[in-house]
Structure 1
Amino acid sequence: MKKAELRKEQINKLKEFANTKEKETEDSILLEKLMETDLIKNSQTIGVTASLPFEVDTSELIARLWEAGKKVYLAKARADQDHTLDFLRYTYMSKLVKSKFGVEEIADGDAEVNNELDLVIVPGLAFALDSHVRLGFGGGYYDRFLAKYNPKTVSLVSSPMQFVSSEWPVEKTDIPIQTIVTTNKIY
């Protein structure tokens, strides 16, 4: 299946799932499983993306990371430069603005940038559990960032996002995720 077709299919599937009680339950299970990992325990600087309504909700995760004394950095797309990301320090005081992609990002241009993070929580639309490749939103932002900085990576994967193997063409620029957290297992 072509990536564009699968992206559209996955977004529709995730939007349907977003309106169910099951999504709330799965998000909660994924959060608990992630918070119990050594990845979180051993990381002080953590990059995350503010989630869209149909993605695994990261708002509670961010609050829990703050409570645990972690420094949280929110992804900001650099579309006008090299189609990659910067991660900006996110605190209770940070003001957010919606990007052209509909994702909330730090509004303050003077916010601390840290791209040498201990851990990055990577979003996606689909994940192959055998090879850990992901289907992103199509801009290559995360793949470019991961190729350049090579941080530890983890993704929270709800049931509609799981594929046993890749059903989409994998390119040499697609960077596999190191750890995948599902409601049943950590891969």
Structure 2
Amino acid sequence: MDKLKLRRELIEQRGAIPAAKRRENARAIRETLLDQPWVQMAGLVACYWSIGDEPETHGLVFALWKHGATVMLPVLRQDNDLDWAVYDGPDTLAPGRFGIMEPVDTRRGVDAVRTAALLIVPALAVDRDSGVRLGRGGGSYDRALARVGPNVPTVALLHDGELISGIPVEPHDQPVKWVAQPGGLTNVSTAGPCR
């Protein structure tokens, strides 16, 4: 199956998830992640501000921040790479490119993600065998994933049913180590927890 067709199918499936179920999914994912010691100990977390039918991250970002983590959120650049800025509460966000909420803090540069102790990324699906994620096609998060160290936990957030097999892989695709879904956390690292 080609990526474009798979993306369309997954977006259609997400669109059919009722709003109440999406809220329930977000709560379950947030609680699962916040229960992990490696999430609790992460001093600097790179995350994202969810949009549309993505598993909602607004409560997760707020909870991480309230628990003392420094949370960086992406700022989409003109070249589709991700700059990063620090989240300092819900009043520190403003619409950016494509209307996506971004922190108004000083931009830290594309390499700021290298200092993160945890990277949480969006995905439409993740391949259960390789850990490769299917994104929206811009390559923004593949670039961010390529910048983090080999021992940094990387987590994609998915709805149930989006951890699948057979995602086409291209040379630039970067795997994640973990998938967080409403049903729990799955290690998709092919070489153990520290790939």
**What residue in structure 2 maps to residue 159 of structure 1?**
160
Rate the CA distance shift 1:138–1:88 in 2: closer, same or farther, 3 A: same
The answer to whether the 8 A contact 1:74-1:106 is kept is yes
Say if 2:34 is the partner of 1:35: yes
**Is the counterpart of residue 50 in structure 1 residue 52 in structure 2?**
no
Q: Which amino acid aligns with 1:84?
A: D
Structure with the bigger RCO (C-alpha within 8 Å, sep 6+) is 1
Name the TM-score, length of structure 1 as normaliser.
0.87
- CA distance in 2 between counterparts of 1:157 and 1:27 reads 10
The aligned amino acid for 1:51 is S
Is 1:84–2:81 an aligned residue pair?
yes
Task: Give a deviation string over 1:87-140, Cα, whole Å, max 9, x none.
Answer: 21111241311322x4222245x3445322111101011112232111001011
CA distance in structure 1 between the aligned counterparts of 2:33 and 2:47, rounded to whole angstroms: 13
CA distance in 2, matches of 1:20, 1:145: 30
1:143–1:174 Cα contact (<8 Å) kept: yes
Hey, what does 2:139 align to over in structure 1? 140
- The CA deviation string for residues 134-160 of structure 1, in whole angstroms up to 9 with x for no partner, is 100101111112113334311222114
Distance 1:38 1:172 in 2: 33
- In 2, Cα distance between equivalents of 1:144 and 1:79: 14
Normalising by the residue count of structure 2, what TM-score does the alignment of the two structures yield? 0.84
The equivalent of 1:95 in structure 2 is 93
Find the residue that maps to 2:28 and give its secondary structure.
Answer: helix
Question: Quick one: which amino acid aligns to residue 50 of structure 2?
Answer: S
Aligned 8 A contact 2:84 2:107 in 1: no
2:16 aligns to what SS in structure 1? helix
Note the C-alpha offset of 1:75. Answer: 0.8
C-alpha distance in 1 between matches for 2:182 and 2:86: 29
- Retained in 2: the 8 A contact 1:97–1:107? no
Instruction: Please give the alpha-carbon distance, in whole angstroms, between the structure 1 residues aligned to 2:154 and 2:161.
Output: 20
Map Cα deviations across residues 63-83 of structure 1 (whole Å, 9 max, x no partner): 111110111111112233xx3
**In 2: Cα distance, 1:131 partner to 1:155 partner:** 13
SS class of match (1:122): strand
Aligned to 1:170: 169
Identity of aligned residues (%): 30
- Distance in 1 (alpha carbons) for counterparts of 2:37 and 2:83: 25
Once residues 50 and 185 of structure 1 are traced to their aligned partners in structure 2, the CA distance between those partners, rounded to angstroms, is 21
Output the CA distance in 2 between the equivalents of 1:85 and 1:147.
Answer: 12
Kept after mapping to 2: 8 A contact 1:133/1:174:
yes
Kindly indicate whether the alpha-carbon contact (under 8 Å) linking 1:13 and 1:160 is maintained by their aligned counterparts in 2: no
Gapped regions of structure 1 (runs ≥ 5): none
- For structure 2, the residue ranges without an aligned partner over 5 or more in a row are 187-195
Asked whether the 8 Å contact 2:125–2:133 carries over to 1, the reply is yes
Aligned residues: CA RMSD? 1.8
Counterpart of 1:6, as a letter, is L
What secondary structure does 1:75 align onto? strand
